[in-house]
Amino acid sequence: MYKLLFAGLASFVLAGCSDQSWRTTDIGDIMPPLDFTLTNEEGETVHGEDYRGKATLVYFGYTFCPDVCPITLSRLGDTIRDLDDETRDNIQVLFISVDPSRDTPEVLKRYTDAFGPEFIGLSGEQAEIDAVTNRYRIAYEYGEENENGDYLVTHSSAVFAFDREGQAQFLMRDSHPVSDAEADIKRLASQGG
């Protein structure tokens, strides 16, 4: 009886101390590894496996977004700049545009350069974008064009995190305390591989 209780307690404690307990939302068991076929800022076709070897944060947005996207990316940039040099070399941010008609490789390059060398812009054919958004169970939707041809895009607000092997780790939302998001990013980037 005692033995059973102890075993239960021990496994509970171990689970609580496991390397996989993130302060933000753990998605290790529910999201697939990083995989996609998209186009990079040089106009080259790239795949998810090309980005293995570093901790990877993924955010889906569009450059015509004046508020939420630049603020989200800037805050990730702030966290990354707080890392020591060695750890900073172990993390990258993929900004996947769901608005390929406006977000050409040139536009994406200029945009992501503003946030730091760790930021990489990707987009692709609509079918390729749909494949990656479906894979991570998120949606996006184009608004109506105004008289200037401008339109807004509703998109996922989450940041997905993958380890250097491309395994899904955690998901961050605005509702998570900034300190939790920062702690998880630092821990992910510091993990050996």
Partner 1 sequence: MASNVFDVLNNRACRGLALGALALMLGTGVAQASTLEVSNARLSLLPGNTPGAGYFELANSGEETVTLVGAESPAFESVEMHVSSEHEGMAHMHAIESLDIAPGERIEFAPKGHHLMFMRRIEALSEGDKAEVVLEFSDEQRLPVTFDVVSPASL
- Please return the burial class of 162, using the count of CB atoms within 10 Å of its CB with bins 0-12, 13-18 and 19+: buried
Residue 31 lies near partner 1 (rule: CB under 8 A): no
Residue 123 dihedral angles phi and psi, to the nearest 5°: -155, -160
Binding flag, residue 30, partner 1 (CB under 8 A): no
Q: Which residue, 136, 131, 187, is CA-closest to 164? A: 187
Instruction: Give the total of residues touching partner 1 (CB under 8 A).
Output: 33
CB nearer to partner 1: pick between 107 and 161? 107
Taking the least distance from each CB to partner 1, the nearer of 47 and 173 is 173
Q: Which of 51, 95, 115, 170 binds partner 1 (CB under 8 A)?
A: 115
Distance in angstroms (rounded) separating the CA atoms of residues 162 and 172: 12
Binding to partner 1 by residue 10, rule CB under 8 A?
A: no
Residues 142 to 171 in contact with partner 1, rule: CB under 8 A: 148, 150, 152, 154-158
One of 44, 84, 113, 125 touching partner 1 (CB under 8 A): 113
Name the β-bridge partners of 187.
none
Q: Which stretch binds partner 1 (CB under 8 A): 33-41, 50-58, 113-121, 185-193?
A: 113-121
Burial class (CB in 10 A: 0-12, 13-18, 19+), 41: buried
**Residue found under tokens 């949606």:** 139
Q: How far is the CB of 105 from partner 1 (least distance, A)?
A: 13
Give exposure, 62-77, as e/b (b: 16+ Cβ within 10 Å): bbebeeebbebbebbb
Per-position x/- string for 70-99, each x denoting binding to partner 1 as judged by CB under 8 A, each - no binding = xx-xx--xx---------------------
Strand partners, 127: none
Q: Is 65 annotated as contributing to ligand binding?
A: yes
**Position among 10, 13, 114, 178 found at the interface with partner 1 (CB under 8 A):** 114
Q: How many CA atoms are closer than 13 Å to the CA of 145, on its beta-carbon side? A: 5
**Chain residues in the site for partner 1 (CB under 8 A):** 61, 63-71, 73-74, 77-78, 107, 110-111, 113-115, 138-139, 148, 150, 152, 154-158, 173-175
- Annotated binding-site members: 65, 69, 155
